[in-house]
Amino acid sequence: MAGKPKLYYFDGRGKMESVRWLLAAAGVEFEEEFLETREQYEKLLQGGSLLFQQVPMVEIDGMKMVQTRAILSYIAAKYNLYGKDLKERALIDMYVGGTDDLMGFILMFPFLSAEDKEKQCAVIVEKATSRYFPAYEKVLKDRGQDFLVGNSFSWADVHLLEAILMVEEKKSDVLSGFPQLQAFKARISNIPTIKKFLQPGSQRKPVPDDKYVETVRRVLCMYYDIKAN
């Protein structure tokens, strides 16, 4: 019997958070090794575990997987969250790609200066409400179904809920003009595995704080300033 997947990353969200979400949605228990020192990171590099010299890295089914999208695709396929056929998989990829684009505006937010954070917050809300949320609102309305793709819960639904909650952290009423997404959020949040992950004490990470930023900068030797999009 294979052991639990093991995640190598920082004790914070970053690119690994979507992996945590997807494993949790599938009801899969996982372990984590948090990178706290440069020495830990260099040990992974020297041991050949990081193919492209970067994290996230996930040990699963005898593989040491890097590249977030590849990790997520594998987990989605393994746990039947990737559609029933090629067409559904293509739609899931398309919707996940759009959600990734939105998340990209948020990912580096913790590393910005206070001035840039204010500007980026406005960008995030504007992109969400003018480009991404209207698209998903239309998909849900046109389909008249509970899920984005097919008639079952998929990676696309998990990813969209994660993104919605991230944007709501910037503007709590951001869904006020999107009734379909409001219903979607309530529906997906109540799926048992998701509901469990949203409870206090789960492996879901909080909003990144200064300690997280300092740790990432130290481990990755990030001594330059990140600029807003």
Question: What does the alpha-carbon distance between residue 157 and residue 116 come to, in Å, rounded to a whole number?
Answer: 30
Phi-psi map region of 50: left, alpha, beta (phi>0 left; psi -120 to 50 alpha): beta
- CATH class, range 6-79+198-220: alpha beta
Over the stretch 131-160, which tens digit does the pLDDT of each residue have?
Answer: 999 999 999 999 999 999 999 999 999 999
The pTM score is: 0.95
Over the stretch 108-124, which tens digit does the pLDDT of each residue have?
Answer: 999 999 999 999 999 99
Residues 6+ positions from 129 with CB-CB distance below 8 Å: 174, 177
Q: Can you list the positions of beta strands (E) in the chain? A: 6-9, 31-34, 57-60, 63-66
- CATH class, range 86-190: mainly alpha
| Residue from 103, 15, 4 nearest 57 by CA | 15
In the chain, ranges of CATH 3.40.30.10 domains = 6-79+198-220
Predicted pLDDT of residue 35: 97
In the chain, ranges of CATH 1.20.1050.10 domains = 86-190
